[in-house]
A and B are shown apart, each in its own frame.
Chain A
Amino acid sequence: MNDVPVAVAAMPSAEGTAVARAAAVVGGPPAVRCTGLARRFGRRWAFSRVDLEVAAGARLLIMGANGSGKTTLLKVISTLIPPSLGAVQIFGHDAGADPAAARARLHLLSHSAGLYEDLSGADNLLVLSRLLGRPLVDPVALLARVGLAPRPEPVRTYSAGMRKRLQLAALLLKDPPLTLLDEPFAALDPAGCGAVEALISGLSGTVIVASHQVGRAARLCDHALLMHEGAARWQGPAARAVEAYTALHGIDNADGGG
């Protein structure tokens, strides 16, 4: 767990939309700064008026029910989707003006595997290592680090848990200063969740986890932001995340749902 000091405040905006801010009190630019961020698809707003500042080294949990805007927010922060309004800065780099600089400093672990289905796990890691310009001498050792045995079969034959572990191996390969994790425990059995939890807690740098498995994810984070119907509704210390989630949704999710 990271011990970088972060000041946290939540306040309602003039329109009643919550504005969440986890302001850095350490030197250097924050890992993520979102200003007036909003994204819509057609006439539907996925989220709106999100102001967010995550200090370098902090760990933030973004929680919320399905459809609350967590995934879209992570995709906008990662520069995969441009915002409809507002701006994102990654370590001081304007993601809109210089997306390559932002992308070089982050990795998104998303719902989709981000892998080549026709290649084996080791082949995928070798291809990615060349593309990242970080030659990988021993893919088998990296696979072993995430609990995968080397297999010649293509990834399309892998189970959901194996894919998730391979995604984590790709993340370890890039080793970015900012890691965005979208539902990292989805489709995993309890043993797989435990293994993924251990890997995530060992990550260095800034980590943002989006999950509706609040109890489990909160253990990995310092701060939490609750999203509901596309707006930030609460934020505070991760230790109080379960309480805030339960108060809004009326469901006890302390065991993380898995």
Chain B
Amino acid sequence: MALSPTVILRQIGQILSKDLLIEWRARSRGFALACFALTLLLLFSFAVGADATTLRTHAGAYLWMSIFLSSTLLLAQSMAHEVEAGALDTLVLAPISPAALFFGKALANAGQLVLLAAVALPPVIALFDAPLRESPLRLAAVVVAGCLGVAAPGTLYAALTARLQSRQLLLPLLLFPLLVPCLLASVKATSLLMSGDPMHQVNAWLGLLLAFDLLYWSICGLLFGRVIES
């Protein structure tokens, strides 16, 4: 019984809205996550010390490290909703297409990561004295592309580890090595947008990010069904 693309698109929208509704109902958790990301930024600034030049130069790296480290908590929680009381079984038996489930959940995760980045960005600019020297729209594009890059493999690996006892350790252990190209491109592009881009290198890094996104959204969309059925 193959589902039509219209039905799959409708299901993606329903999974997305369901995940956002859950996060809204449990918004204290989102607030705690934002506080965690901001605490990481503060820790970075204390660890580096009062060297303003170093802080400014590496502001993009601190922003993305803060997002990456916080993302594992967010991603793990998004799958914990599904497995803690067997809701995933209800979705599978509804039946919801595995592709719809993946794209709906990954989009919800990407949206929350973008929101987290939007919360973390002003403190980065203020704390590290790193004003934006290029177009904010280009920074927005980098942030969205970077968050999409984290969300796709993150959702897959969160599903893979959701039922394991040591999931909180295994998720970052599996995910972070995979995200190295995404981290590199996001940090480089963000740093160039903050410090100025006289050589017009941002587009190349953004292109790398988009290629990473395309690759992982395709592969993970195909693999997700196998992961949740196993």
**Chain A residues with a Cβ under 8 A of chain B:** 78-80, 82, 93, 98-101, 103-104, 106-108, 110-120, 123, 127-128, 130-133, 154-155, 170, 174
Contacts and interface: CB of A to CB of B under 8 A. Distances in A.
Interface string B78-95: 000100111101111111
A114 B87 contact: yes
Contacts of B10: 133
Interface stretch (B18-26, B109-117, B129-137): B18-26
Given A131-B94, A155-B85, 12 more contacts: A79-B93, A100-B3, A107-B93, A108-B89, A110-B89, A114-B87, A117-B81, A118-B22, A118-B26, A127-B14, A130-B17, A131-B18
Contacts of B93: 78-80, 103, 106-108
Contacts of B17: 130
Interface of B: 1-3, 7, 10-11, 14-15, 17-18, 21-22, 25-26, 81, 84-87, 89-97, 229
Contacts of B7: 133
A117 B3 contact: no
21 contacts: A78-B93, A79-B93, A80-B92, A82-B229, A103-B95, A110-B86, A110-B89, A112-B85, A112-B89, A113-B85, A114-B85, A115-B85, A115-B86, A116-B18, A116-B81, A117-B85, A119-B25, A123-B21, A128-B90, A154-B25, A155-B85
Contacts of A113: 85-87
Contacts of A103: 92-95
A126 to B, nearest CB: 9
A174 B97 CA distance: 17
A79 B1 CA distance: 14
Most chain B beta carbons < 10 A, residue from A131, A133, A155, A174: A131
A235 to B, nearest CB: 26
A107 B94 CA distance: 8
A79 B95 CA distance: 11
Nearest to A78: B93
A170 B94 CA distance: 11
B85 A116 contact: yes
B95 A104 contact: yes
Most chain A beta carbons < 10 A, residue from B7, B15, B17, B92: B92
Contacts of A170: 90
Contacts of B14: 127, 130-131
Per CB-CB distance, the 6 closest pairs between chain A and chain B, nearest first, are A112-B86, A103-B95, A114-B90, A101-B1, A100-B1, A118-B26
Contacts of B96: 131
A110 B15 CA distance: 22
A104 B2 CA distance: 12
Nearest to B26: A118
Nearest to B91: A131
